Structure 1
Amino acid sequence: MDDCWHAPTRDPSTGAPLADPAKFPNGIKHLADSVHALGLKLGIYSDAGAMTCGRRYGSLGYEEIDAKTYASWDIDYLSQYDNCYNQGESGTPQISFNRYNTMSKALNATGRPILYSMCNWGDDGPWNWASTIANSWRISGDIIDQFAGYDDRCPCEDALDCKLPGYHCSAATIIDYAAPLGQKAYVGGWNDLDMLEVGNGGMTYDEYVAHFSMWALLKSPLILGHDLGAMTNETYSIITNSAIIGINQDRYHTPAIRRWRRALAGQEATYSKAAGTPSIQLWSGPVSDGSTVVAILNTGEEGQKVDLLMKDVFKDKRTAQLGRYRAYDLWQKVPLSQSRAGATGEGAHFTPKQQQLQRYMSKGYREELDGEPMVWGKDVGLYETMLPNVRVKAHSVRVFQLYSEPGAPKTGSNVKTNIGTHCDEL
């Protein structure tokens, strides 16, 4: 539940928060019981300020009674614990830490496991201190359902030196903000790039695929922000891509790291390092089964071709010279007998068997899925030195998973095209 679930005032005798009786005539506990009966969990919004952003009463000074009330309602998730009307209790990491730690202690004191999601918009660098008190922390101003483009309401060029986080931040801008922060994500403590916009209608299919993929690779919580009752098949086909979810939920936990960010072809003269500047980017990261996930992201308005060099992919450059790599495209469709879905109409339709695979994701990407090739993506060939001519459409991403095949014979370091009968252009 987002903002504005509140009754006009707190309980006058106890100070406890009350739900709006018109919106919740049976109360929040009844709602929680109904949600839990569906096998789901319930989250609730509040604010570490005198008022919420919607000008309802906040939790500042009421942390203990609010936490106890949430626990009595069987709440599972304190979502987007916000930063509006904070009474000036910000400006240094210590001040912000103390304010948000008060709620952390109150939640822990209830004895109920409640996921704690901080939303101070990246103020005072929460990635440096929030991991000891929260499960996730927002790194930027609020996202808007737009893939790219500058907006004065999201003015910062760099998340590490941002005085006014704002809102109306595009997905591409937030990705740039997140680039240096992968080293600050931990088991149980994650950089939160904000809720997913997939399905809200403001982006194209390719843009939503890029948005969902990058959130997954960066290990941001994957929290849907659209009307589930109005979900299209196309949206469903994106958010249930088992291969991408598997990367996000992989037990290795390490976010992908940006290896380079470059000007688009022909736009070198106007290129800027500011967040949101159109660019072509390479990201890669390890997966617990020994493979490597790779993303080539194009935030520009024209398609690009990239030679994906193995020496750029791997942190240890010598690794790229050890052999060949079997590449799987995690968004390409494969034959129906192996695929995640058979695409018809506006999107994909999933069999019960395919839906059942989702439950495996928390156990590791491949450990429970060795006999389920439908979640591996499409095998696009065996490569050495590089994947040549990777075509990346405007505002889109290509995501590959690379598996080393050390037993494959090498034919020399000058091999520059894929091995086998696949097309030279990917």
Structure 2
Amino acid sequence: MRRIFVVGPRLASFSIGLIGAILSRGVHGLSNGVAKVPVLGYNTWNFFQCNIDQDLIIDTANLMVSLGLQDAGYNYVNIDDCWAEKNRSSTGELQPDSVRFSRGMKNLTDQVHALGFKAGIYGDSGWFTCAGYPGSFEHEDQDAQTLFADWGFDYLKYDNCAIPFDTIIQQGTMGKYVPMSNALQNLATNGSLSEPVVFSLCQWGWSQVWLWGARLGHSWRTTGDISSQWSSIASIINFNSFITQATGFYGRNDMDMLQLGNGNMTFDEAKTHFTAWALMKSPLLIGTNLSAITNETLSILTNKEILAINQDSVEPDAVSPFRWGINPDWTSNSSFPAQYWSGPSENGTVFMLINTLDTPSDMFFNLTESPWIRAGRQYSVRDLWAHTDNGTAVRNFTATSVPSHGVVALLLNDSGEEPLGIYPQCAVWFSCSSENGTYVDG
């Protein structure tokens, strides 16, 4: 039986009829083991937009194999908007563009599957998609049957353009996604599908989608569209720094597609972009032209030590800030987001240091500022970009000369008790005391 990756049941307090219908059918998420970790793959929109056809999709899949991206774990090839005819068939079905997808979508997904990939498709909850093609409003069951049971797609990016008037839809933001969720669950329960489907909600952060996205889908967009400028990267990191707790095995914040190789991003900015997306457990969907990809960009995308953190099947949490850099009071600053981050992983404690300044900088922190580090212990240090073991850290760590807009990614592991005789007795001296109440003076 095929089961859509829809998480629940955790909607008991809601009175919306459609949501109640989901609960009554026992929607499954974690138990099916599908999409437990973020999706890795490719999406056509950021570079090609509407200039897509069947040959581009197969060429992209072949490039992902030859470039080593498939071996690195990228296993989805996703078509975004503009794939359809502007009108439905006489019986209401979606139709692929008769010229650009002349061989049909079932033929396309068969080819993608034969190359060892899963295939993704784009849809919309409204009257039309964002580019003006048919949306799925009041066609959810029909479209789910067409896209997944008939054509064999494995992933649905579901947008939210051309929303019907309130008097017609009579739903809140979450409710607009429920009919498609129901339709996918219907296919799962009636045995029409043989493989799980990933349901990705393209609902932007202003609706506080991170508060409810896990009730319906595998991932949810948290901000507007990304651009290739550092200001866009920094702004998205900043916004997501305040909602990292929304990510886990039940679903994850989607920070939008990877822009590496597009625009004027420096190599250090590209490394920061990729590292932040990966360690914050965002889906990683490449949005560049693979036929013109540079070796530098490819080396970033295939960093297996960084990808291993993103794909950790034991520890689901994203890295979160433990210090807000130039914003010590945790106030939002889209140009200078949090600089000091940490989180758990299957193989140790992960640290991410981002130099948000416009000049190189040394970056210092006490280890126990991270909640994942124990006092009185020393830690081995692994550099996830240099791929080197860098000795042992005792109480604190300094990364020297971090490039402007650059990143340091570390994996620390407990290496036993710290050496005797270190003074002062506490690395973080505030309110540190001996048994008789004598406070340690830092």
Place the TM-score, normalised by the shorter chain, in its bin. 0.7 to 0.9
Deviation track 1:245-286 (CA, whole Å, cap 9, x = no partner) reads 01111121111111111229xxx9xx9933412256100001
TM-score scaled by length of structure 2: 0.72
State the partner residue of 1:140.
223
The answer to whether the 8 A contact 1:280-1:298 is kept is no
Query: Are the equivalent residues in 2 in contact too, given 1:2–1:45 (CA < 8 A)?
Result: yes
1:277 equivalent to 2:360? Answer: no
2:357 is the counterpart of 1:303: no
Q: How many residues align?
A: 340
The DSSP-based 3-state class of the residue aligned with 1:99 is: helix
SS in 2 for 1:327: strand
Query: Which amino acid letter does the alignment assign opposite residue 56 of structure 1?
Result: Y
Give the C-alpha shift of residue 114 in structure 1: 1.4
Aligned to 1:227: 289
Q: Tell me if 1:216 matches 2:278.
A: yes
Q: How far off is 1:61 after superposition?
A: 1.5
Supply the distance in 2 between the matched residues of 1:182 and 1:272 (Cα, whole angstroms).
14
Root-mean-square deviation over aligned CA pairs: 2.5
Please say if residues 238 and 337 of structure 2, whose CA atoms lie closer than 8 Å, have aligned partners that are also in contact.
no
Contact 1:93 1:126 in 2 (8 A): no
1:250-329 matches, within 5 Å, as 250-251=312-313, 252-263=315-326, 273-278=331-336, 281-289=339-347, 291-314=348-371, 319-329=373-383
Higher relative contact order, structure no. (Cα contacts within 8 Å, ≥ 6 residues apart) = 2
List alignment gaps of at least 5 residues for structure 2: 1-78, 428-442
Q: Kindly provide the amino acid, as one letter, of the partner of residue 144 in structure 1.
A: S
The 10-residue stretch of structure 1 (37-46 or 280-289) with the greater mean CA deviation from structure 2: 280-289
TM-score using structure 1 length: 0.75
1:288 and 1:330 mapped to 2: Cα distance? 15
What displacement does 1:414 show?
5.0
Contact 1:297 1:397 in 2 (8 A): yes
Give the structure 1 partner of residue 163 of structure 2.
86
**What per-residue deviation string (whole Å, max 9, x for no partner) do you get for residues 29-86 of structure 1?**
111111111101111111111111111111111111111100110001102x111111
Give the SS at the match of 2:142: helix
> Deviation string for 1:84-118 (max 9, x for gaps)?
1112459x996112110111111122223211000
Amino acid across the alignment from 1:307: F
* Aligned partner of 1:398 among 408, 420, 431: 408
For residues 8-407 of structure 1, what are the structure 2 equivalents within 5 Å?
8-13=86-91, 15-71=92-148, 72-79=150-157, 81-88=158-165, 95-111=172-188, 112=193, 113-148=196-231, 170-251=232-313, 252-263=315-326, 273-278=331-336, 281-289=339-347, 291-314=348-371, 319-332=373-386, 377-407=387-417
Measure, in 2, the Cα distance between the counterparts of 1:234 and 1:56: 37
Q: Output the CA distance in 2 between the equivalents of 1:98 and 1:40.
A: 32
For 1:329 and 1:93, the matched residues in 2 are separated by 52
Contact in 2 for aligned 1:384/1:415 (Cα 8 Å): no
Query: Which is worse superposed, 390-399 or 33-42?
Result: 390-399
Q: Matched residues in 2 for 1:240 and 1:411: separation?
A: 43
Q: Which amino acid aligns with 1:78?
A: L
Q: CA deviation at 1:23?
A: 0.3
Q: What is the Cα deviation at residue 408 of structure 1?
A: 5.7
Cα distance in 2 between the residues matched to 1:411 and 1:144? 52
**What is the deviation of 1:230?**
2.3
Secondary structure of 1:55 counterpart: coil
Could you say what secondary structure the match of 2:409 adopts?
strand
Output the CA distance in 2 between the equivalents of 1:140 and 1:200.
19
What fraction of aligned residue pairs are identical, expressed as a percent?
36
Q: What is the SS of the residue equivalent to 1:44?
A: strand
